[in-house]
Amino acid sequence: MTHPSSVQRTVYPQNSFYPETLPQPTTSSPSRPPQPQSQSAQVLPGTFPATARGTYHQQQLPPGQQSLPHYHPPPAAHLHPPTSPPLTPFPSEINGNTRARPDNANGLLKKEMYEYKAPWPVYGLDWSKRPGEKAFRLALGSFIEDSSNKLAYDDPYLRPSNTDFVKIAETEHHYPITKVLWEPFRGGLNTPDLLATAGDHLRLWEITDEISNPSNTIGANNHTGFRQKKLIHKIMLSNTKADFNAPLTSFDWNELDPTLAVTSSIDTTCTVWNVETKQAKTQLIAHDKEVYDVAFATGSTDIFASVGADGSVRMFDLRFKSFPTTFALDKNFRKETKLFIMFNRSLEHSTIIYETAIPNPSQVNMSVSNPTQPSPLLRLCFNKIESQYLATFHMDSADVQILDVRVPGVPVAELRGHSSTVNCVNWAPHHSGHLCSGGDDSQVLVWDINIMSHNGGVNRYNQDPILAYKAANEISQLSWSCKCPDWVAIGFGNTVQALRV
């Protein structure tokens, strides 16, 4: 990864609605899954002490491994490559008055970090996928163990001297939000602005305008106002008629065909939905145990993959799905059994890309629950450019596995830079080799998977991230903006930070 100053950036016009410091592109260019109640503390350790910034740190390499010279820069607010010259803080930064620095000859300020303090612990996090001035928006979801959860979205405020983000809309969400996504951009200026959340059901929300009086609007000044929004609940998708169904652990929204979404559940199933017709296209038994995450393959409307408590990564192709009507069944055949056959037929067409090995009894750590069972896989993420690659990680593991679907069975690479449990990963939207990870060690690391070492075996590994950021507390979630690829958002406790990379 090159120094940020050498990367060609989009030119952002000034706008009366957004601050001069805010990126406004003119053209478009799986954390640990929440567990029921007693285990949820592993996902969000609680509300952490507030802090304005993290600190960089020097990455240490094993003896004998070569790398470019490192340095330990002074405090700064943005991710920075270890190989670039040290930064000298400006006087205003030393005094703690601002996190902005002069960026060009005309003296305009360009901030390197934006921050927002939510009134609740943040778990769901996603950047807007619309181009233009709407690209720099964040959707946030809470994870509270009661019925008082919230869904909100934030815009940068007019005056950066007051606050970085302002809450534009918020609504009740009775079940903890396991994931929130903006709708993939369909094109056009008049298309609805939609959000989706997973929890007890898959829910779709529409953002509508509501002009507010500046005097009674959150964060408003006497001389400036902004367009307040409403979050309107539009659709609730459920595969059961019961009042309560198995909670959803995750979902994905297809980038090529936004009418398609796929959900994963603790009842071992994945369901593909048509969000326009509000109908399930197919439901299949995906794993032998709980399914923790699911994602469409990049560039495909038919292929998706899932991970779960059985420790496997499985891929499915909807072109091979089977329906009950394909069977010649006796007229007295029970409907429930017919559905069960459909599920088994679907499972037969899955491909196991990777399975966790059962630990050797002599190497078992007795402090680990079910030490003789495969370690669950918690999240997966497809490479945004080269869809044959995907990243995943194990429960209570500090390593990230890189898999190639063309070479099933073993990881093609491992990333070993975290000192504690990994909670989230996300590929860069603009570079096939760059990946970001966050964990319980409070670190946000950016990797180049093309830089690998060999330990004498066939597996490649990387212990030297190209970027490192130290936050105030454990990283629970992160999101890399697809429309503003210079920005990564991270969540820890009740704090959200947008970092320039």
Structurally, the chain folds into a number of domains equal to 1
Burial degree of 277 (CB within 10 A; 0-12, 13-18, 19+) = exposed
Question: What residues in the chain have per-residue pLDDT under 70?
Answer: 1-109, 145-163, 210-227, 240-244, 321-348, 359-372, 453-459
Give me the pLDDT at residue 144, please: 75
* Residue 258 Rama label (left phi>0; alpha psi -120 to 50; beta): alpha
Six-digit token string for 117: 């303090």
C-alpha closest to that of 197 among 152, 158, 246, 227: 152
User: What domain range includes position 63?
Assistant: 4-500
**CA nearest to 195, candidates 145, 261, 148, 248:** 261
> Letter for the amino acid at 456?
G
DSSP-derived pairing of the beta strands 413-415 and 460-462: parallel
pLDDT of residue 9: 35
Return the pLDDT at 450. 86
**Angstrom distance (rounded) from CA 493 to CA 417:** 22
Question: In whole angstroms, what is the distance from residue 204 CA to residue 184 CA?
Answer: 13
SS3 193: coil
400/420 Cα distance (integer angstroms): 12
Beta partners for residue 210, in sequence order = 228
Distance, CA of 208 to CA of 335 (rounded, Å): 43
Going through 266-388 in order, the beta strands assigned E by DSSP cover: 269-274, 279-285, 291-296, 303-308, 312-317, 351-355, 377-382
Q: Alpha-carbon Rg of the chain, whole angstroms?
A: 23
446, two tokens: 């950016």
How many angstroms separate the Cα of 50 from the Cα of each of 47, 92, 203, 477? Answer: 9, 20, 31, 17
Residue whose structure tokens are 């093309």: 450
H-run or E-run covering 93: helix 91-94
CB 28 within 8 A of CB 483: yes
pLDDT tens, residue by residue, 424-477:
999 999 999 999 999 999 999 999 998 876 554 445 888 899 999 999 999 999
pTM here is 0.71
What is the CA 29 to chain-centroid distance, rounded?
A: 19
In degrees, rounded to 5, the angle at the alpha carbon of residue 444 between the alpha carbons of residues 442 and 445 is 130
Tokens of residue 350, six digits: 């899955």
Unique residue bearing structure tokens 């999240």: 379
The whole-angstrom distance between residue 264's C-alpha and the CA centroid of its chain comes to 15
SS3 of residue 37 by DSSP? helix
What Cα–Cα distance (Å) separates residue 115 from each residue in 21, 118, 242, 366? 14, 10, 41, 41
Tokens of 103: 């960026």
CATH number for position 29: 2.130.10.10
Q: Phi then psi for 40, rounded to 5 degrees?
A: -70, -20
